[in-house]
Amino acid sequence: MDIADMLSPEGVLPALRVTSKKQALQELAKRAADVTGQPERAIFEVLVERERLGTTGVGYGIAIPHGKLAELDRLHCLFARLETPVEFDSIDEQPVDLICVLLAPEKAGADHLKALARVSRLLRDRTICDKLRGTESRDGLYAILTESAASHAA
């Protein structure tokens, strides 16, 4: 599954203004509710529950919050570039400014893990992250994410 299959241009937030990890998750849950048609509160709770298990701040200013919702019919992805980095309890203790949320159906199983691996592989590429940090338009960010993902396919 390509990122373009999970991410729509409406799911790209080019300049999200938040001041904390909790606020970032709240805002992303709100946007995810619009994209998925699922309740904002349910999305927020699944993301917070996942954070309780361990941070999704993977280092280098990147976080990949994720979770499963029974009512989803397919995988969904949202991407946010934060205006100002926020503390995210990352494994390298650095603040986060790039967040990619992945939401999967409860029965997604291996597809959820494959999507998580695909997003992780893409965001490990420093060149791509530099491009994402230097791009302010939704369309530009969407193009980088979807075009770059195609070249990083497993």
pLDDT digits (tens, 9 = 90+) for 107-144: 888 888 999 999 999 999 999 999 999 999 999 999 99
Give Cα 8 distance to the centre of its chain: 12
pLDDT at 151 over 80: no
Query: The pTM is what?
Result: 0.93
pLDDT at 149 over 70: no
Give the model's pLDDT for residue 92: 96
Number of domains making up the chain: 1
Domain containing residue 24: 3-151
Interatomic CA distance for residues 82 and 57, integer angstroms: 14
- Which active-site residues does the annotation give? 66
Task: Give the pLDDT band (50/70/90) at residue 147.
Answer: confident
CATH number at residue 51: 3.40.930.10
Residue 33 · residue 147 · CB < 8 Å: no
pLDDT at 146 over 80: yes
Residue 20 · residue 142 · CB < 8 Å: no
Lookup result for tokens 């990083």: 152
Interatomic CA distance for residues 85 and 14, integer angstroms: 13
